[in-house]
Every structure is written in structure tokens, then in C-alpha cells.
């Protein structure tokens, strides 16, 4: 049975002390009126102690005992930030104990594994939410509002561009860019954020023709370049290009071309260009944190995800992005990989869509 949510602060554990842990703890600290960090679970707890300085409150427990943390009645949900290769075991332990889960992307290494993770949570009745923080950008919220209004007309053309740079040291980390640990390269680790955001505005893709590759600029197992032509279920056509071999590092951009206007969405603002000549800039970022070669330190979007998840738990509704809702992004990534391997278009048919029908 899933744990009940208290009226006051909600107890939370952080599972995993890797690259994103600093951002998560800073976000939790900023949301301290709603949450209390009770524990940090890491394989080597002694190496995770530095995170205590980022938490504005009594120091959490640092431990390797996941089972004890999962069973702790004072901990109502856990943020899981482990590598995808160990997700299934961690989530199964938490779900059996009734601990709700907020999961860093991706759900798992493959679509099949991801469906399994979602089904574990559904069987046990725990809420599974996803950390897709790009949805919380002011520009993304403004874009969603325009799309929902219906004033833009029919969607005709979609452009998704993820031109990133990662130097070799990024992939020298043990397991990074491998199928065994991460489930893939640029798509699963980096571009999945833009994929999720784009699909939340366009709906699903029906047909893919793609190529993936590892450029000579990186030594890694999986792809650092993915290019795809897309045919959407709504009838629109589009393109997807993602790479970590684009120097200098640039921001991700989504362009949506409708009958009555075009939207340009990036992390800084939404640009709206109407066919009658009007234009506007909306959702402009108040702050623009520096994005380095690996990640940025801005925790505000993560904070918004955490607070939205807590609110969902309190009122008993689904969070903004559920685990099942995230399967639509995994489905597209798998179709791109399959099209590249086979050298032909891949249809994303109704039978595949059936397993993610609750995503929309």
C-alpha cells in the first residue's frame, strides 16, 4: 500500500549521489517549506557527505541501506537519480515499501525495461513522476498555453535541434555513453528533455526515418549524433537533429510552425511570429544560468518539478509527467535507433501505442 502524505513537510530520500545530486539537493533546500531531506542513499555514503552543505536544515542520514530507507515511515517519497542500469532494482524496492518515486530521466535503458518499471509502480499503487524540468521553463509554459488555446491553427512543421558539446572527459566517466549503463548516447542522456517537451506540444510521432552515428570527435560506444525525419500522428512533418559534437555548445531549440503562427522555444524565451505580421517575446527567463560542458547549476526548474510532484501527492492527482507519460519519448528514441539499424523507415503502429495510451 502506498504511503499516505502528511499535511506538513513531506519526508524525502535522495537515491544516488552522482552528477545531478548537487542540483537535486539545492532544489530540495529551496523547497524546504514543503519537503524535508531525511536520507541520501549512495553505494559509498562517506563520499556523499559533501551534499549536506547544500541542504538548509538538519543533516540527512547518509547510508547504503536502501531497504531501511524505503521502509522508513517518515520518508514518503524518493528521488531516484541512479544510472539507468540499476533503476529496476531500486524502484522495485521502493515500490514494495509503498514509497512514491520521482525519477530522473530516463525511465530505463530501453522501452521494454521502461514499461516494466511503470508496471511495477502501477501494481503497487505508488505514484511515479518524472524529472523533465524543461517543462517548467517559463518559455515552455508559455508555449503550452498557446498550443492549448487553439489560436495557432493546424500544426504543419516541427524542428527539434539539440546542438550540444561534450568533450571526451564527459565520456571517460565509467559507463557513460554505453548501452549497458545509460541505454544509449546523446538521445537517451541529453536530447530526451527536448524530445519530451516537443512531444508534449505536438503529440506522438507515427513514422521515422533516421540515421545515428558516433563521430570521430568522441571515443564512446553509443551515438553522439542522431538525425531523423518525422511524420507526426497529427499530420505534421518534421526533423530531429541531436549531437554532443557541436562546438561551441549551443542551446536546444524547438520550432513549431502552425497555420497562423510559428513558435520558437528555447531556455531563454518563447518567440511567437504571427502570419499577420505581429510578433512577441514571452516567457523570458529571469535568470540565465551558465551551461557548462556537462550541466548547469540552475536548480529552479528542478525545484518546480519537486513542488509540483508534492502537490500532486497531496491532492491525489497525477504529476505533470508520469512514468507512463514518459514512455512516448522512449518509444520515439527506440524507433530512431531501429530505423538507423535497418536503414529504412519505421512505423510506430497502434499496437505499440496501446502500451502508452495513458500517456496522452
CATH code of the domain containing 46: 3.40.50.720
Residue 293 lies in a domain: no
Residue 306 lies in a domain: no
Range of the domain at 332: 135-288+322-359
Query: Final residue of a domain: which of 107, 133, 159?
Result: 133
Same domain? 96 vs 212: no
In this prediction, residue 221 carries a pLDDT of 98
Q: How confident is the model at residue 350 (pLDDT cuts 50, 70, 90)?
A: low
In this prediction, residue 357 carries a pLDDT of 47
Model pTM score: 0.93
Instruction: Give the residue-averaged pLDDT of 298-302.
Output: 92
Same domain? 171 vs 106: no
Strand-by-strand arrangement of the 61-63 sheet: 61-63, 35-41, 10-15, 77-80, 100-104, 128-131
Residue 28 lies in a domain: yes
Same domain? 237 vs 110: no
In this prediction, residue 287 carries a pLDDT of 54
In this prediction, residue 358 carries a pLDDT of 42
Query: In 3D, which of 23, 20, 5, 124 has the Cα closest to residue 75?
Result: 5
Same domain? 126 vs 34: yes
Query: Final residue of a domain: which of 79, 110, 133?
Result: 133
**pLDDT for 236 beyond 90:** yes
90-115: pLDDT as tens digits: 999 999 999 999 999 999 999 999 99
Same domain? 161 vs 129: no
Same domain? 27 vs 171: no
Residue 46 lies in a domain: yes
120-140: pLDDT as tens digits: 999 999 999 999 999 999 999
**SS (HEC) of 10-58:** EEEEEECCCCCHHHHHHHHHHCCCCEEEEEEECCCHHHCHHHHHHCCCC
Q: How confident is the model at residue 359 (pLDDT cuts 50, 70, 90)?
A: very low
Q: Which residues of 43-65 are buried (b: 16+ CB within 10 A; e: fewer)?
A: eebeebeebeebbeeeebbbeee
> Which CATH number is 156's domain given?
3.30.360.10
**pLDDT for 65 beyond 80:** yes
Residue 308 lies in a domain: no
Same domain? 185 vs 168: yes
276-291: pLDDT as tens digits: 999 999 999 865 444 4
**pLDDT for 320 beyond 50:** yes
Instruction: Output the CA–CA distances (angstroms, integers) from residue 308 to 30, 31, 92, 175, 324, in the order listed.
Output: 14, 11, 23, 32, 17
CB 288 within 8 A of CB 268: yes
Same domain? 27 vs 128: yes
Beta-bridge partners for 111: none
Same domain? 111 vs 253: no
Residue 303 lies in a domain: no
Instruction: Dig out the grid coordinates for 275 from the structure.
Output: 502570419
Same domain? 106 vs 154: no
Query: Domain tally for the chain?
Result: 2
Residue 310 lies in a domain: no
In this prediction, residue 69 carries a pLDDT of 98
Same domain? 174 vs 101: no
Query: Final residue of a domain: which of 133, 164, 190?
Result: 133
Same domain? 63 vs 153: no
Residue 86 lies in a domain: yes
Beta strands in 96-234 (DSSP E): 100-104, 128-131, 155-163, 205-213, 225-232
In this prediction, residue 354 carries a pLDDT of 47
246-260: pLDDT as tens digits: 999 999 999 999 999
Q: How confident is the model at residue 199 (pLDDT cuts 50, 70, 90)?
A: very high
CB within 8 A of 302, min separation 6: which ones? 23, 24, 26, 27, 131, 133
In this prediction, residue 41 carries a pLDDT of 98
SS3 state at 263:
strand
What phi and psi, each to the nearest 5 degrees, are found at residue 238? -170, -175
221-230: pLDDT as tens digits: 999 999 999 9
Amino acid at each position: 500500500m502506498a504511503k499516505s502524505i502528511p499535511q506538513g513537510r513531506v519526508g524525502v530520500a535522495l537515491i544516488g549521489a552522482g552528477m545531478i545530486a548537487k542540483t537535486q539537493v539545492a532544489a530540495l533546500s529551496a523547497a524546504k517549506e514543503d519537503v524535508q531531506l531525511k536520507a541520501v542513499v549512495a553505494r559509498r555514503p562517506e563520499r556523499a557527505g559533501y551534499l549536506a552543505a547544500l541542504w538548509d536544515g538538519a543533516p540527512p542520514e547518509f547510508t547504503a541501506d536502501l531497504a531501511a530507507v524505503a521502509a522508513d515511515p517518515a520518508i514518503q517519497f524518493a528521488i531516484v537519480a541512479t544510472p539507468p542500469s540499476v533503476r529496476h532494482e531500486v524502484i522495485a524496492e521502493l515500490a514494495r515499501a509503498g514509497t512514491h518515486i520521482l525519477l530522473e530521466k530516463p525511465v530505463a535503458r530501453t522501452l521494454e525495461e521502461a514499461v516494466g518499471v511503470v508496471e511495477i509502480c502501477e501494481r503497487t499503487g505508488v505514484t511515479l513522476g518524472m524529472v523533465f524540468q524543461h517543462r517548467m521553463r517559463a518559455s515552455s509554459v508559455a508555449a503550452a498555453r498557446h498550443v492549448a488555446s487553439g489560436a495557432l491553427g493546424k500544426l504543419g512543421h516541427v524542428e527539434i535541434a539539440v546542438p550540444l558539446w561534450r568533450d571526451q572527459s564527459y565520456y571517460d566517466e565509467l559507463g557513460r555513453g554505453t548501452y549497458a549503463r545509460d541505454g544509449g548516447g546523446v538521445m537517451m542522456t541529453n536530447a530526451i528533455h527536448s524530445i519530451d517537451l516537443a512531444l508534449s506540444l505536438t503529440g506522438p510521432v507515427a513514422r521515422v526515418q533516421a540515421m545515428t552515428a558516433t563521430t570521430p570527435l568522441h571515443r564512446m560506444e553509443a551515438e553522439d549524433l542522431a538525425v531523423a525525419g518525422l511524420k507526426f500522428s497529427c499530420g505534421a512533418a518534421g526533423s530531429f537533429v541531436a549531437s554532443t559534437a557541436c562546438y561551441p555548445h549551443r542551446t536546444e531549440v524547438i520550432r513549431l510552425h502552425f497555420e497562423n503562427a510559428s513558435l520558437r522555444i528555447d531556455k531563454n524565451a518563447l518567440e511567437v511570429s504571427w502570419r499577420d505580421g505581429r510578433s512577441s517575446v514571452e516567457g523570458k527567463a529571469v535568470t540565465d544560468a551558465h551551461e557548462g560542458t556537462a550541466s548547469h547549476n540552475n536548480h529552479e526548474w528542478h525545484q518546480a518539478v519537486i513542488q509540483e510532484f508534492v502537490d500532486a501527492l497531496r491532492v491525489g492527482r497525477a504529476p505533470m509527467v508520469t512514468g507512463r507519460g514518459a514512455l512516448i519519448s522512449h518509444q520515439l528514441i527506440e524507433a530512431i535507433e531501429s530505423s538507423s539499424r535497418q536503414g529504412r523507415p519505421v512505423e510506430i503502429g497502434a499496437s505499440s501505442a496501446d502500451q502508452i495510451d495513458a500517456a496522452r
